[in-house]
Amino acid sequence: MVTALLNEEITAQLKEVFEKLQEPVEILFFGSKKGCEYCDETLQLATEVTALSDRLGLQTFDIDEDPETARQYRVDKAPAMVIAGRDGDRIVDYGIRLSGIPSGHEFSTFVHDLVLVSRRDSDLSETTREFLRGLEKPVLLQVFVTPTCPYCPRAVYLAHQMALESPMVEAEMVEAMEFPDLADRFGVSGVPQTTINSGAGTVVGAVPEDYLVAEIQRAIAA
């Protein structure tokens, strides 16, 4: 028998949070049978969470066995989750990604993402929304985190808010210890680190939205 990851207290708290879910949310889980250390735990976590509300759904894929689906959602690592909207039979991809198991402090990010997508409202300032509406170039935000970092969820959530707001933005939480080669490639020495457009810009720390906007502007102007 598989031991539950969520205890009764956390389950009760989540049920209370999920009562506020508005629109349906679909989690697209991508795993791999090839040396994926945390795939089983991540899928179990997603399964236990989605069982707590009828507004949450879960689909599972293998990046090797379902390469077309992985390409469609631009998923190139496992475990990964796409937090999408569901509109009838249609999946609405907002560009919100979690690569690596959302454990420790990042579990709160996972939960907040579900609420964010269910609301379909980024809650960003009007100034930031205006900037995002005017984007003409795609923006990729990769936020490197570790489970023990208390400031990381804020950085990830801001990136995910921007992705929800604009179809030009894709935002990915990357668990740095699970994907060390990528972390080394972008010189991650402290977390959170937000890498903009594969190194065109870098922000270290959990920063206010106007600061991140300024760094995005710099990166896309370079």
Name which of 190, 189, 119 is nearest 157 in CA terms. 119
pLDDT value, residue 222: 80
Alpha-carbon distance 118 to 191, whole Å? 28
CATH class of 126-221: alpha beta
Token representation of residue 101: 């198991």
The CA-to-CA distance between both ends of the chain, in Å, stands at 54
Q: How far is CA 78 from CA 57, 108, 132, 153, 165, in A?
A: 19, 20, 29, 20, 26
The model's pTM: 0.96
Alpha-carbon distance 147 to 90, whole Å? 33
Which region, left, alpha or beta, applies to residue 126 given φ > 0 means left and ψ of -120 to 50 means alpha?
A: alpha
Name which of 184, 141, 183 is nearest 164 in CA terms. 141
216: DSSP letter = H
> In which residue ranges of the chain is CATH 3.40.30.10 found?
8-118, 126-221
Fold of 8-118: Glutaredoxin (3.40.30)
Is it the case that residue 1 has pLDDT exceeding 80?
no
Between 106-119 and 39-50, two packed helices, what is the crossing angle to 10 degrees?
50
Q: What is the mean pLDDT of residues 157-161?
A: 98
The type of residue at 93 is D
Is it the case that residue 114 has pLDDT exceeding 80?
yes
Residues forming beta bridges with residue 25, ordered by sequence position: 56, 85
Please say whether the beta carbons of 29 and 42 come within 8 A: yes
Binned at pLDDT 50, 70 and 90, residue 2 comes out as confident
pLDDT tens figures, 90-102: 999 999 999 999 9
Is it the case that residue 141 has pLDDT exceeding 90?
yes
Query: How many CB atoms within 10 Å of residue 72?
Result: 14
Q: What is the mean pLDDT of residues 54-58?
A: 98
Considering only the C-alpha atoms of the chain, give the largest distance between any 2 of them, rounded to a whole number of Å. Answer: 55
